Amino acid sequence: MTHRLLIVCKGNICRSPMAEAIVRARLLRPGMQVASAGLAAMRGFPIDPKAQAALAAHGYDGSDHIARQATKVLMQQSDLVLAMEQRQVAAVLALCPTLRGRVCMLSHWQDGSDIEDPYGRDQRAFDIAFERIESCIRDWRTKL
């Protein structure tokens, strides 16, 4: 069982905070920790209002999220790192080669494809990203 889960994306204001909020609400078990971070984080920024709106429309809340950087130490302390894009998996492994086997795509149990970044786009793009993220997390339910 995974005890420390880290979800990464680029800026840590859209996709990974949505995923973190969903995991907290749906999958968090005693002894399990979940966090999110960005490989090029917009440090100190709150969740994007459109990401929060997508979450809220489905009963989730990410309003207390503050973006942070995915550091080598944070990644090494994680039992599993889930990324939104293949290039993020590669970036994590470039920083921490010892994580090989503990870094996966969030979409691993589906098609393994990238979850498109909605940043700077309209609400519909955020809603589509939310739906994809929530679906992928459902597939991780029995794996975590």
- Cα–Cα dist 49/29, whole Å: 28
Neighbours of 96 (CB within 10 A): 20
- Cα–Cα dist 28/8, whole Å: 17
CB–CB of 132/85 below 8 Å? Answer: no
Positions annotated as catalytic residues are 9, 15, 117
SS (H, E, C) 3-38: CEEEEEECCCCCHHHHHHHHHHHHCCCCCCEEEEEE
Residue entry with tokens 């859209």 = 14
User: HSE-up of 65 (CA within 13 Å, CB side)?
Assistant: 34
